[in-house]
Amino acid sequence: MGGAMVAVIIGIIWFPLVFFSLGSAVGETNVPYDVTLEIRIGPYEPIYRMSAQSNSIYSFKPDQLDQLRMVYNNFKSSGTFINNYEAADVAAVKLSIDSGNIWGISPPDRKRMVAEINSTNPVQVRLDYKISHQTSKPEDTGIIRKGVAITLPAETEDRANLLKMLEGLPADPVLLQYLLPKFIKVTNRGTVEPVEELMLPQPDEKAASLRNITTNLNKTGEEEWWRIREECNDTNYELFLRDLPYQDCSNSIILYTFNDKVFPPTLEFISGGGIIGLYTTLVLVASRILRGFFSDQCGKIMFEDLPNVDRVLQLCLDIYLVREASEFALEEDLFAKLVFLFRSPETLIKWTRPKEELADDDEDEDPEDGAGGDH
């Protein structure tokens, strides 16, 4: 029994861990159904806005995952990261390099933007990405947003190029340094994080998770739109990105998402509170039950396994008898005697000696007889 109890306790302690680590096995693949990217310079009309829906979000096939593994063959921590996912959990998101919208900034706003870029204040550039995926919790919409912000310092070539573009002069593309997350980890807790395991931090810390992009303003007739491009001549591109499935630097922006599996709705009631919730509940319930087994025990010890209960039984029967006979005063005395027995385990021991010992015992008077009345 002790062994079984220990097994049960170990089982209780392990269950949440096992459940959540098997979650990746019992869960369902959960690739995003929409990925939206938006870039804005300062507070003005976004310069780039593009969405990818399911038809341009590609789940990896097993051979593509093998290709990914091959690329990171010599990099242990990258391999460990990739091994957390099955092929179908990794997705490539293909976005067009041309913004999906005509740039519709109003002329006064454009003037303000030109003035701000021409000023000596730093200008902020923000990239926001929004990832929508299925969730098993009804209260969670499954839309996750995150952003990256950089500043364009004043009096740089890029600011000058930006200014030229806005005035319609020919200009080189503007470099936006470390703005685009390339690999994104989407968890089922509703967070997204740029992955840092899949690129080397060269030549900068930030190069491990973010990519340089360039942007330029294009025009046909009166219509203007922005075009962005990933910069593809650095170490990380040469070492890894070049060989990845779907990678296509010149014609599209490719992001990769690594998606946690989602628990099926039927298991949601267990996993809803997360691993901490599950632990708390289990530990509370289990400790209640375990304590329930033992906490009453000490109160019962003196009444269990008594050697000979004939006299006590006789006392109880006598109480019934006198009640039948309406001898209530006597009943009260006898009941007081019974209560006295409960209060005094020592007397109970004397009273429940085995029959053969009773004979010796009869000589010394029962101490409670004085208090309890006749018998």
- Our finding on whether 177 is near ligand NAG (CB under 6 A) is yes
Nearer to ligand NAG, 44 or 303 (CB): 44
Is the Cβ–Cβ distance between 108 and 272 less than 8 Å?
Answer: no
Q: What is the DSSP letter of 99?
A: -
Query: Residue 73 corresponds to which tokens in the numbers above?
Result: 């063959």
- Our finding on whether 326 is near ligand NAG (CB under 6 A) is no
Nearer to ligand NAG, 23 or 173 (CB): 173
CB of 39 vs ligand NAG, minimal distance in Å: 16
Of these, 193, 231, 248, 333, which contacts ligand NAG (CB under 6 A)? 231
CB of 212 vs ligand NAG, minimal distance in Å: 4
- Our finding on whether 109 is near ligand NAG (CB under 6 A) is no
Outline where the chain has alpha helix (H): 2-26, 62-71, 76-83, 107-118, 157-166, 235-239, 268-271, 274-295, 297-300, 310-324, 328-343, 345-351, 355-361, 368-372
- Our finding on whether 163 is near ligand NAG (CB under 6 A) is yes
Of these, 24, 51, 64, 118, which contacts ligand NAG (CB under 6 A)? 118
Nearer to ligand NAG, 110 or 227 (CB): 227
Alpha-carbon torsion (66, 64, 75, 35), positive or negative: negative
CA 338-340-346 angle, to 5 degrees, is 110
CB of 98 vs ligand NAG, minimal distance in Å: 8
Query: Residue 226 corresponds to which tokens in the numbers above?
Result: 């922005």
CB of 177 vs ligand NAG, minimal distance in Å: 5
Of these, 29, 96, 216, 344, which contacts ligand NAG (CB under 6 A)? 216
Q: Which of 90, 78, 60, 70 is nearest to 196 (CA)?
A: 78
| 34 strand-pairing partners | 53, 132
CB of 204 vs ligand NAG, minimal distance in Å: 6
- Our finding on whether 120 is near ligand NAG (CB under 6 A) is no
Of these, 148, 207, 315, 341, which contacts ligand NAG (CB under 6 A)? 207
DSSP 140-200: ---EEEEEEEEEE-SSSHHHHHHHHHHTT---PPEEEEEEEE-EEEE-TTS-EEE--SSS-
What is the contact surface with ligand NAG in residues (CB under 6 A)?
114, 118, 163, 167, 175, 177, 203, 207, 212, 216, 218, 220, 227, 231, 233-234, 236
